[in-house]
Amino acid sequence: MSIRRLLIANRGEIALRIHRAAHEMGIETVAVHSTADAEAMHVRLADHAVCIGPPAARDSYLNVAAIISAAEITQADAIHPGYGFLSENAKFAEIVEAHDITWIGPKPEHIRTMGDKVEAKRTAGALGLPLVPGSDGAVSEIGEARRIAAEIGYPVIIKAASGGGGRGMKVCTGPDEFETLIQQAGSEAKAAFGDATVYIEKYLGNPRHIEFQIFGDGKGKAIHLGERDCSLQRRHQKVLEEAPSPVISNNDRNHMGGIVAKAMADMGYRGAGTIEFLWEDGKFYFIEMNTRLQVEHPVTEAITGVDLVREQIRIADGLPLSVTQDDIEFKGHAIECRINAEDPWNFTPSPGAVTNYHAAGGMHVRVDSGLYAGYKIPPYYDSMIAKLIVYGRTREGCIMRLKRALEEMVIEGPKTSIPLHQALLKEPDFLSGDYTIKWLEEWLANRIG
Ligand code: ADP
């Protein structure tokens, strides 16, 4: 291992997660933080800490010059970007590499390709992944767009090539509203992302969100670590994730996993990645690829026993994958609850002082969080404050243990989404695994309405 000191360009639980993997590998860590995060747990635990700017993310966690300077001052020889912030910024990856610092992430050209949704879809199609039927690339001329929409069949979804985070999408139910919607989509995309490019896809009525974790060594070898089911979403934000998916058979996992691993091997992909699919009536449809670690990665770790962050660091260091496809065994079941500092029913953020904190424990219970009693949750960032990940030999056993663990969690001060998870775990549809990406919002609407 040639990496000796790793700078973590992130905050919160993921900064802690990366710190832990690094220390377990004998690597020193450098925390960077905004003035609002001076008292954060990742700053306390890291070997070195550098303040990189004021609270607003654009001045600190997105401040490339300040982060590179921090790496140079502390003589860090590697940077891990975590998720969000600069993790999918190809330019940042190039700047890191240009400074002779090891970038713990995919090759910049792959980040760039997959960050453009039209390019990503074209690449995925060329690599043999099944696509949602739609336009072959961007659409610009209205007559042609109309013809394509009619050919695909309504409803269709108009998507911005540069969209992300669930934004820049419009569902169109019929030809009458098509022209208005496509024009709106283009001008909104231009305003929000600086790029008016849009494309058209068949709108799937009631799919599940199923994603595959993959790993490549950058030299033509790649493996998959099975799927995660992330269908429980609100406003396209994941709330609870599980692995394996209750609806994917061993055969389907091995088959689709083999296809995605081969695609990544052919591409020469390096590091961790996630291939996202919509799944309906037993068929997979590629929607996008995330070229980074995901929030929900621990459920995959729980059922495979592979430390994904350790693997990322090893690959960035030029080492081979530590496991082969044949070594990967899927054992048991894991569920992650994202715990947010917010009102569990109306989702208003609830930052502020944590007066009391006690994390759940016991066999097969993992809490990834930077919380401690006396910590003040700053109002400037994402509201996720903890992840509770529970493993069981069976899905039923996992759910029983998860209920027990949620009862034990104490977070006093802010409101949290714990009551939402507790209510969810009582729902017959959840217990039977019978839910799609629409389910949670409909359930919430019925509870409130
Ligand atoms: P983003 O990058 O903004 O997350 P995605 O392409 O991953 O965009 O889509 C986000 C979500 O939008 C999906 O998880 C799904 O809920 C919905 N969605 C996207 N494409 C379709 C489609 N063709 N049909 C139905 N729902 C879709």
CA dihedral 314, 316, 317, 319 (to 10 degrees): 50
Mutational pocket test of ligand 1: of 169, 239, 280, the residue with most ligand atoms within 8 Å of the beta carbon = 169
Q: Which domains does the chain have, with CATH numbers?
A: 5-104 (3.40.50.20), 142-202 (3.30.1490.20), 208-448 (3.30.470.20)
Q: What is the pLDDT of residues 333-374, one digit of tens each?
A: 999 999 999 999 999 999 999 999 999 999 999 999 999 999
Averaged pLDDT for residues 426-448: 96
* Whether pLDDT at 111 is above 90: yes
Q: What percent of the chain has pLDDT over 90?
A: 94
> Which is nearest to 201 in space by CA: 163, 152, 162?
152
Averaged pLDDT for residues 299-322: 98
**pLDDT score of 166:** 72
Ligand 1 centroid to Cα of residue 197, in Å, is 17
* CA-proximal residue: ligand 1, atom 6 (nearest): 287
* Whether pLDDT at 36 is above 90: yes
End-to-end CA distance of the chain: 57
Pairwise CA distance, residues 161 & 88, whole Å: 15
Mutational pocket test of ligand 1: of 278, 285, 288, the residue with most ligand atoms within 8 Å of the beta carbon = 278
Q: What is the pLDDT of residues 397-431, one digit of tens each?
A: 999 999 999 999 999 999 999 999 999 999 999 99
Averaged pLDDT for residues 281-297: 97
412 DSSP 8-state letter: E
Instruction: Report residue 360: phi and psi, to 5°.
Output: -65, 155
Our answer on whether the CB atom of 236 is closer than 6 Å to any ligand 1 atom is: yes
302 DSSP 8-state letter: H
Contact 11, 41 (CB under 8 A): no
Q: What is the pLDDT of residues 191-207, one digit of tens each?
A: 988 999 999 999 999 99
Our answer on whether the CB atom of 306 is closer than 6 Å to any ligand 1 atom is: no
Task: Quickly state the pLDDT bin for 165 (edges 50, 70, 90).
Answer: confident
Query: Of the given ranges (109-113, 234-238, 277-281, 442-446), which has the lowest mean pLDDT?
Result: 234-238
Pairwise CA distance, residues 396 & 14, whole Å: 28
Our answer on whether the CB atom of 210 is closer than 6 Å to any ligand 1 atom is: no
Q: Counting beta carbons within 10 angstroms of the beta carbon of residue 11, is it exposed (0 to 12), middle (13 to 18) or buried (19 or more)?
A: buried
Rg, C-alpha atoms of the chain = 22
88 Cβ partners below 8 Å, 6+ apart?
111, 115, 290, 291, 292
Ligand 1 centroid to Cα of residue 166, in Å, is 7
Our answer on whether the CB atom of 335 is closer than 6 Å to any ligand 1 atom is: no
Ligand 1 centroid to Cα of residue 290, in Å, is 13
Amino acid type, 426: K
* Whether pLDDT at 167 is above 70: yes
> Which is nearest to 32 in space by CA: 73, 84, 88?
73
Long-range contacts of 166-170 (CB under 8 A, 24+ apart): 166/235, 166/236, 166/237, 167/192, 168/192, 168/193
Six-digit token pair at 33?
């933080």
Amino acid type, 314: R
Averaged pLDDT for residues 70-93: 98
Task: Quickly state the pLDDT bin for 447 (edges 50, 70, 90).
Answer: confident
> Which is nearest to 413 in space by CA: 332, 354, 349?
354
Helix/strand/coil percentages in the chain, nearest 5:
35, 30, 35
Contact 425, 217 (CB under 8 A): no
**pLDDT score of 55:** 98
Cα 155 to Cα 176, 312, 433: the distances in Å are 12, 40, 27
Averaged pLDDT for residues 171-195: 92
Contact 395, 441 (CB under 8 A): no
Our answer on whether the CB atom of 47 is closer than 6 Å to any ligand 1 atom is: no
Instruction: Report residue 354: phi and psi, to 5°.
Output: -95, 110
Contact 51, 38 (CB under 8 A): yes
Task: Quickly state the pLDDT bin for 1 (edges 50, 70, 90).
Answer: confident
Amino acid type, 393: R
Q: What is the pLDDT of residues 249-259, one digit of tens each?
A: 999 999 999 99
**pLDDT score of 449:** 61
The pTM for the full model equals 0.96
Mutational pocket test of ligand 1: of 158, 236, 280, the residue with most ligand atoms within 8 Å of the beta carbon = 236
Which residues are designated catalytic?
Answer: 292
Kindly report the average pLDDT of the chain as a whole number.
96
Our answer on whether the CB atom of 163 is closer than 6 Å to any ligand 1 atom is: yes
